[in-house]
Amino acid sequence: MYILGGTSATNVATNLANRIKQPLLHTTYKRFPDDEFYVRLLDDVADQDVVIVQTAYPDPKIVEIFLIQDAVHEAGAKKITVVLPYFGYSRQDKKFEEGEAISARAIAQHISRNADCVITVDPHKEHILKFFTVPAYSCSAVVSLARYLKEKHVDFVLAPDKGAKQRAKDAASFIGCDYDYLEKTRIDGTTVKITPKNLDARGKHVAIIDDIISTGGTMAHSIKELKRQGAKTVLVACTHGLFVGGAKEKLLSADCDEIVSTDTIETEFSKVSVAETIAQTLQKTADI
């Protein structure tokens, strides 16, 4: 088996290869003067299992996946597993209004074309796995994040909305502390409204946990509410740290004490690796 790291997941691919003791495939990647992507495999993958690891975000990285898959298929690989640490477009998982694309399905169908199996981490909604036309599995970074939070002496976990409630519950159960959740209403892509609610957070070291931090609006509102209610420290933790549109500044000016994310998108806040959870899923689905 070879592990092939794309340009958006080099750390995850390296960690994964080390963890499961399989070699990293050698490749040449470059961009032409017009910015088109070029890939060439430097090892022979004929009749081999190849695990392509590439985050599908931002858009150019999705094209890279298609080209890498094509190269691996052309070279005669026996089995192609595509690992998407972050599956971009997964939040457009249905038609919210007539005339829209079901973006997650469109991308999933294209990725399925040259894949035998797909693995992704903490998808926004589990049902997007059905959009792939090959077996698709999800794995969770919650235990890896919770291990980090426990080391930081977190003693209360909050979900910023109902959708993240199970995540908060699982993290709290690993840490051995209480959890709660907030009611969030999304007004538009950048505006959210949090309904005030009494939380048992006074004097506590709180972690707010979510699948994605995008603009940081959801977390910023939740931090302010927790600090207003007397939380001692507030750490925000997510699997996928997009941090767009001044998210870092928004979180810091909301008096956030620490920002933590995994390495599904590599940023200065990638303090936890998803290699462990991916390795466990790969071991269940592959012959290693």
Of residues 39 and 234, the one with the C-beta less far from ligand R5P: 234
User: How far does CA 114 lie from the centroid of its chain?
Assistant: 22
- H-run or E-run covering 208: strand 205-213
- # chain residues binding ligand R5P, by CB under 6 A: 14
Q: Tell which positions 124-163 bind ligand R5P, by CB under 6 A.
A: 160-161, 163
252 Cβ neighbours under 8 A, 6+ residues apart: none
Nearest to 154 by CA among 227, 228, 231: 231
Catalytic annotation on 184? yes
Nearer to ligand R5P, 214 or 273 (CB): 214
Backbone angles phi, psi at 264, to 5 degrees: -65, -30
Options 85, 123, 216, 241; binder of ligand R5P; rule CB under 6 A:
216
Options 21, 130, 152, 184, the catalytic residue: 184
* Binding of residue 263 to ligand R5P (CB under 6 A): no
Whether the CA torsion 149, 248, 122, 182 is positive or negative: it is positive
Q: How far is the CB of 215 from ligand R5P (least distance, A)?
A: 3
**Shortest gap between Cβ of 72 and ligand R5P (angstroms)?**
32
Q: Report which of 86, 88, 5 is spatially closest to residue 39, judged by C-alpha positions.
A: 5
One of 54, 138, 144, 214 touching ligand R5P (CB under 6 A):
214
Closest approach of Cβ 219 to ligand R5P, in Å?
A: 6
Helix (H) or strand (E) segment spanning residue 277: helix 275-285
- Rounded-to-integer distance, Cα 225 and Cα 126, Å: 29
Question: Is the link from the previous residue into 58 a cis peptide, with omega within 30 of 0?
Answer: yes
Closer to ligand R5P by Cβ: residue 167 or 204: 167
Q: Closer to ligand R5P by CB, 85 or 160: give it.
A: 160
Q: Give the x/- contact pattern for ligand R5P in 51-90, rule: CB under 6 A.
A: ----------------------------------------
Query: Cα torsion at 90, 93, 96, 98 (round to 10°)?
Result: 110
Q: Which tokens belong to 237? A: 């933790």
From 22-30, 93-101, 204-212, 256-264, give the range in contact with ligand R5P by CB under 6 A: 204-212
Among 138, 218, 222, 261, binds ligand R5P (CB under 6 A): 218
Q: Long-range contact list for 178-183, CB < 8 A, 24+ apart? A: 180/156, 182/158, 182/222, 182/225
Is residue 213 a contact point for ligand R5P (CB under 6 A)?
Answer: yes
Q: Does 192 engage in binding with ligand R5P (CB under 6 A)?
A: yes
Q: x/- binding map, residues 163-182, to ligand R5P, per CB under 6 A? A: xx------------------
Contact set with ligand R5P (CB under 6 A): 160-161, 163-164, 192, 210-218
Q: Catalytic site residues?
A: 184
